[in-house]
């Protein structure tokens, strides 16, 4: 089994939310911060990690990602507020 992470990132104004899944959270967040991944996160300057959850199995992380993506924006905000009420960038907590 491969370990997995689901995560939510935002821009510096907390106005855009991005939900993703990865097997290497530190590497993926670093890629977003340095804009090495083309697409939504680069276009909307998504650089701040505000939520993450670890899973022993990547399939479980993918399942959780789909659940989060299916929720309303307010439900995502509630999830972030419960985990990280100040919406601080959690990258330093996970970077190795």
* The total number of structural domains that make up the chain: 1
Q: How far does Cα 79 stand from its chain's mean position?
A: 12
Parent domain of 14: 4-94
Predicted local confidence at residue 96, as pLDDT: 60
Give the Cα separation of 57 and 3 in Å (integer): 5
C-alpha dihedral (39, 25, 12, 77), degrees to nearest 10 = 100
The CATH number covering residue 11 comes to: 3.40.1440
Could you say which DSSP state residue 49 is in?
E
CA–CA separation, 41 vs 22, rounded Å?
Answer: 15
* Integer Cα distance of 31 and 79 in angstroms: 24
Q: Output the pLDDT for position 1.
A: 75
Positions of the chain with pLDDT lower than 50, given as ranges: none
pTM of the model: 0.95
């Amino acid at each position: 089994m491969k370990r997995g992470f689901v995560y939510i990132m935002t821009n510096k104004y907390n106005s855009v939310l991005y939900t993703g899944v990865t097997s290497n959270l530190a590497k993926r967040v670093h890629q977003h911060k340095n804009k090495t991944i083309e697409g939504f996160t680069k276009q909307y300057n998504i650089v701040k990690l505000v939520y993450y959850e670890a899973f022993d199995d990547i399939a479980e992380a993918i399942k959780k990602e789909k659940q989060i993506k299916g929720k309303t924006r307010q439900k995502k905000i509630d999830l972030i507020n419960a985990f990280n009420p100040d919406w601080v960038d959690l990258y330093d907590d996970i970077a190795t």
